[in-house]
């Protein structure tokens, strides 16, 4: 059992996760941001490694991917940065698309994750058969959790597969849209309630459109917690990274 699984046992409700793009706003901001988020008592941290074509992401995260790449961020550099991170108790999730992983090589990527405090991996465009063949065994050996995404259009047979393969949590995409969009939870109520039944016993975290105390609290009514990404990245934009800046944002969500 790794730190993420222990977290869900210890604190099953009202979990707050923050997503940020590695290498944004500045190339060397990755480690300070992790440390500031830990000091701000977020429950777990999701680090996105940039990709040139992040299809599921809205304008804000796309812009941060572009800026991070322009800054010089690569997957290899991210692991080099993470190797300097002192041991932390907050679970770390690594999120990104399959192409950069294939360029690095799956065995090397998973080894690097195991050596750098990564507790779970989210790869939105990873097919199940590819996961079974190339990822599942090694991730289990390294004690790295799998996280899969569901959307309002996910068919029942895929939901069953997601329940079967998930060892971390299910990332519940709140709406058939891109990140950063406003979400009407009342319109999604039936979908979210259905997931509670279909995925009973599996931790669920809602993402896409969580941006303030109300959307966070509403999401927590249907899941174990929520992930905030675009709103946090907008908060960082045009500011010098500091502990106070990060703490102010976290406090504004947990009113």
| Cα 12 from chain centroid (whole Å) | 17
Q: What is the rounded distance in angstroms from the CA atom of residue 220 to the CA atom of residue 197? A: 16
Residues in CB range of 184: below 8 A, 6 or more apart: none
Between CA 223 and CA 171 the distance in angstroms is 10
Write the CATH number for 139. 3.20.20.70
Write out the residue range of the structural domain in which residue 135 sits.
14-146+211-253
Q: Which residues pair with 16 in a beta bridge?
A: 226
Residue 180 confidence (pLDDT): 44
Quick check: is 152 in a domain?
no
Indicate whether 186 belongs to any domain. no
Q: For residue 167, is it within any domain?
A: no
User: Is 188 part of any domain?
Assistant: no
> Residue 133: inside a domain, yes or no?
yes
Domain membership of residue 74 (yes or no) is: yes
Q: What per-residue confidence (pLDDT) applies to 113?
A: 98
- 129 catalytic residue (yes or no): no
Domain count, the chain: 1
**For residue range 19-56, what is the model confidence (pLDDT) as tens digits?**
999 999 999 999 999 999 999 999 999 999 998 776 66
Q: Is residue 124 part of a domain?
A: yes
pLDDT in tens, 216-247: 999 999 999 999 999 999 999 878 899 999 99
- This prediction's pTM: 0.93
Choosing from 29, 43, 57, 119, the catalytic residue is 57
CB atoms under 10 Å from CB of 108, counted, come to: 13
Give CA 137 to chain center in angstroms: 22
| Within-domain flag for 72 | yes
Low-confidence ranges of the chain (pLDDT < 50): 178-180
User: Which listed residue (28, 29, 43, 46) is catalytic?
Assistant: 46
Is residue 141 flagged as an active site residue?
no
């Amino acid at each position: 059992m790794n730190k993420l699984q222990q977290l869900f046992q210890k604190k099953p409700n009202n979990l707050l996760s923050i997503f940020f793009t590695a290498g944004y706003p500045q190339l060397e901001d990755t480690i300070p941001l992790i440390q500031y988020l830990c000091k701000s008592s977020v429950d777990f941290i999701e680090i996105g490694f940039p990709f040139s074509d992040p299809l599921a992401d809205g304008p804000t995260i796309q812009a941060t991917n572009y800026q991070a790449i322009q800054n010089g961020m690569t997957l290899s550099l991210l692991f080099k940065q993470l190797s300097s991170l002192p041991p932390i108790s907050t679970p770390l999730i690594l999120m990104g698309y399959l192409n950069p992983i294939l360029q690095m090589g799956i065995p090397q990527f998973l080894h690097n994750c195991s050596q750098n405090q990564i507790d779970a991996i989210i790869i939105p465009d990873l097919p199940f058969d590819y996961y079974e063949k190339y990822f599942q065994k090694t991730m289990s050996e390294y004690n790295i959790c799998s996280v899969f995404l569901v959307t309002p259009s996910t068919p029942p047979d895929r939901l069953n597969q997601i329940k079967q393969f998930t060892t971390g949590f299910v990332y519940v995409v709140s709406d058939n849209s891109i990140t950063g969009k406003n979400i009407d939870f009342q319109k999604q109520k039936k979908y979210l309630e259905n997931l509670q039944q279909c995925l009973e016993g599996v931790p669920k975290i809602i993402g896409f459109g969580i941006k303030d105390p109300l959307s966070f609290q509403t999401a927590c009514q249907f899941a174990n917690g929520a992930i905030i990404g675009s709103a946090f990245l907008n908060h960082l934009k045009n500011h010098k990274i500091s502990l106070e800046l990060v703490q102010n944002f976290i406090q504004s969500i947990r009113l």
